[in-house]
Structure 1
Amino acid sequence: MFIDRFTNFIRYEKRYSVHTLTAYSHEVQRYIGYLTEHEIDINKVTHRQARAYLAALLESGQRPVSINRSLSALRTYYKFLMREGTATHNPFALVKALKTPKKLPVVVDKKKLSALLDMDGVFPDTFEGLRDKAVIELLFGTGIRLSELLQIQEAHLDFYNNNVLIFGKRNKQRLVPLNRTLAALLQQYIKEKKEQCFNNISDNLIVTKEGKNAYPTLIYDIVTHYLGTISPQQKKSPHVLRHTFATALLDNGADLNAIKELLGHAGLAATQVYTHNSVERLKSIYKQAHPKA
């Protein structure tokens, strides 16, 4: 019911990311299927029925974090229906989210990562090798999200001031500094990109070997491959590099508010999770170094 209009609503008015757009659409479609199966009118769902739906998801094996995503999606959907005049109330408005265990951000050893990026012969001496190195350096050197990386255009780079304009969640803009090594690498990459003489070359900074816009799976494959050479850990996503960036800054004395601005967090609470990693690191050092530990 109104799925296309709802999708346009969260895409153009709420300015949600593509990932959120896909997830919310899926959640709403699943909910509508449930109501159809149980012959429940979408405009007459009660608070109790809303809770029963989420309970059914939990019983089916869904994790609390997934249940909370469903809750968020359906709250937004009913707000949309009320705005359209097709619903008189939001049955999910007073439903409480489930408690989820807090997980420490997964990081990689920053010394090993730095050594990987500085080592000769790791990245092939080709356009793709140069692009792959630019991807890893950008994610680790700026802490940007995967979705933000894919939106960077060459025009967003300012090599005079050594910064890059980032479009974050809900299209919120921020400037992120580039270190000299990264700036030089990007200039080299852009030069090589132009020399490839692609047909209809994309304005986006990161492209495929055919010169088309890069896509999430490509970035995942690049990051997974190279992180796999220095770390046996299971999680090797682009977000791990974001976590590593933030933790490295914190370990070296950066102000928490400054890290918040660099990461594009709306509030300080999301940034504070990195302090736990630093505390754990200090505990580890203490246990190894103190005679009474």
Structure 2
Amino acid sequence: MPIQSFLNYLSLEKKYSKHTTVAYLNDLNSFQHFCNKEYSNQSIVDVNYAQIRNWIVNLVEANISNRTINRKVSSLKSFYKFLQKSKDIEVNPLAKHKALKVSKKVQVPFSEKEIIAVLNLLDDKNDFESLRNKLIVELFYSTGIRRSELIHIKIGDIDFANETVKVLGKRNKERYIPLIQSVQKTLVKYIKFREEINTNQSYLFLTKKGKIIYDTLVYRVINNYFSSVSSKVKKSPHIIRHSFATHLLNEGADLNSVKELLGHSSLASTQVYTHSSLGKLKEIYNQAHPRSQKN
């Protein structure tokens, strides 16, 4: 079972999350379904590049974005690299494949005013869901954590003595992030309400029924609240993460420090957030440089 062996490799050796592993499986299944239909149930282990190319054309004709197609093909390429290592195939059929061109999306972060406006919306409310939602927004903005990281925070990960939260990031890498005073205050209030929920869960964030919160719930919380204060097209947890990094860099934070807080493995990943800070740099430059055109 090459596919199952590959999935085991991703989860056990590469330490990929269950969510990421499932995404790989879905991409492989998508191609296998195509092969079943077009090539009489041919196994994806035995295909050639021409057949993969036909699948790519099929995806393009179905109006799938180039970015999504590249991700699907990348999953296949990793699969064939694994099969080469395990001696199941001799040649990777995607070895010379070039990714489709994609336009770079400029993600616009929320302004500090928009963040504050959302928190003000929740300030006067004192019930379980409102405090939970406020804590979700505050944690996202004050720590820059990912959605999956927030969902899987456990009560035991909160260290009030050291004012930190332990986060389990990609590839099961742990990191500790400082908790500012305002977040700690919201945490204390929320935990009191949480203690009244009938549950055996150790996770910090729960639904009213005592179940662990889920991806769509978190997205809905962010999208709903920010829709009332922002006209930006995209309103998601990742945009708050983007805002966290951008605002820190605008205030002069060291790039390496931001990298550590975000849980990035390389500076290249963190540098995608620096383009938003160029406006601030230009403003400072224009104000300070002797030769700038001041109004």
TM-score of Structure 1 vs Structure 2, range by shorter chain: 0.7 to 0.9
- Map 1:197-208 to 2 at 5 A: 197-200=197-200, 202-208=201-207
Unaligned stretches of 5+ in structure 1?
none
Alignment pair present for 1:279 and 2:281: no
Residue-by-residue CA offset, 1:16-41 (whole Å, 9 max, x unaligned): 23442232212101111222233255
Are 2:109 and 2:239, in contact at CA under 8 Å, matched by a contact in 1? yes
Alignment pair present for 1:35 and 2:30: no
Q: CA-atom RMSD, angstroms?
A: 2.7
The letter of the residue matching 1:107 is: P
Residue 121 to residue 35, structure 1, CA distance change in 2 (3 Å): closer
Counterpart for residue 75 of structure 1:
77
Q: Offset of 1:284 from its aligned partner?
A: 7.6
Residue-by-residue CA offset, 1:66-104 (whole Å, 9 max, x unaligned): 121012110222234345554333212332222322222
**Distance in 1 between residues matched to 2:8 and 2:125, nearest whole Å:** 42
Are 2:77 and 2:94, in contact at CA under 8 Å, matched by a contact in 1? yes
Question: Bigger CA drift: 89-98 or 252-261?
Answer: 89-98
SS for the counterpart of 1:243 is helix
Residue 46 to residue 113, structure 1, CA distance change in 2 (3 Å): same
Percent identity for Structure 1 against Structure 2:
42
**Distance in 2 between residues matched to 1:286 and 1:188, nearest whole Å:** 44
TM-score by length of 1: 0.88
SS for the counterpart of 1:174 is strand
Counterpart for residue 109 of structure 1:
111
Counterpart for residue 10 of structure 1:
10
Choose which of 56, 59, 71 in structure 1 pairs with 2:58.
56
Counterpart for residue 176 of structure 2:
175
Alignment pair present for 1:99 and 2:98: no
Counterpart for residue 131 of structure 2:
130
**Distance in 2 between residues matched to 1:229 and 1:58, nearest whole Å:** 36
Residue 291 to residue 76, structure 1, CA distance change in 2 (3 Å): closer
Question: Bigger CA drift: 177-186 or 277-286?
Answer: 277-286
Choose which of 86, 89, 98 in structure 2 pairs with 1:87.
89
Alignment pair present for 1:228 and 2:230: no
Structure 1 runs of 4+ off > 6 angstroms?
Answer: 284-287, 290-293
SS for the counterpart of 1:175 is strand
**Distance in 2 between residues matched to 1:161 and 1:154, nearest whole Å:** 15
**Distance in 1 between residues matched to 2:43 and 2:219, nearest whole Å:** 42
SS for the counterpart of 1:164 is strand
Counterpart for residue 236 of structure 2:
237
**Distance in 2 between residues matched to 1:21 and 1:211, nearest whole Å:** 27
Unaligned stretches of 5+ in structure 2?
287-291
Q: Offset of 1:269 from its aligned partner?
A: 1.3
Are 1:265 and 1:271, in contact at CA under 8 Å, matched by a contact in 2? yes
The letter of the residue matching 1:25 is: L
Residue-by-residue CA offset, 1:258-280 (whole Å, 9 max, x unaligned): 11111111111121122211113
**Distance in 1 between residues matched to 2:124 and 2:234, nearest whole Å:** 21
The letter of the residue matching 1:168 is: G
Are 2:122 and 2:130, in contact at CA under 8 Å, matched by a contact in 1? no
SS for the counterpart of 2:176 is strand
- Map 1:230-269 to 2 at 5 A: 230-269=229-268
Are 1:105 and 1:273, in contact at CA under 8 Å, matched by a contact in 2? no
Q: Offset of 1:137 from its aligned partner?
A: 0.4
Question: Bigger CA drift: 222-231 or 76-85?
Answer: 76-85
Counterpart for residue 151 of structure 1:
152
SS for the counterpart of 1:15 is coil
**Distance in 2 between residues matched to 1:129 and 1:94, nearest whole Å:** 52
The letter of the residue matching 1:98 is: L
**Distance in 1 between residues matched to 2:179 and 2:54, nearest whole Å:** 50
**Distance in 1 between residues matched to 2:128 and 2:62, nearest whole Å:** 47
Are 2:132 and 2:190, in contact at CA under 8 Å, matched by a contact in 1? yes
Alignment pair present for 1:190 and 2:178: no
Counterpart for residue 289 of structure 2:
none
**Distance in 1 between residues matched to 2:104 and 2:262, nearest whole Å:** 19
**Distance in 2 between residues matched to 1:42 and 1:244, nearest whole Å:** 41
The letter of the residue matching 2:240 is: L
**Distance in 2 between residues matched to 1:286 and 1:198, nearest whole Å:** 56
**Distance in 2 between residues matched to 1:180 and 1:35, nearest whole Å:** 56
Q: Offset of 1:208 from its aligned partner?
A: 0.6
SS for the counterpart of 1:152 is coil
Residue-by-residue CA offset, 1:126-151 (whole Å, 9 max, x unaligned): 11111111111001110000010011
**Distance in 2 between residues matched to 1:169 and 1:278, nearest whole Å:** 26
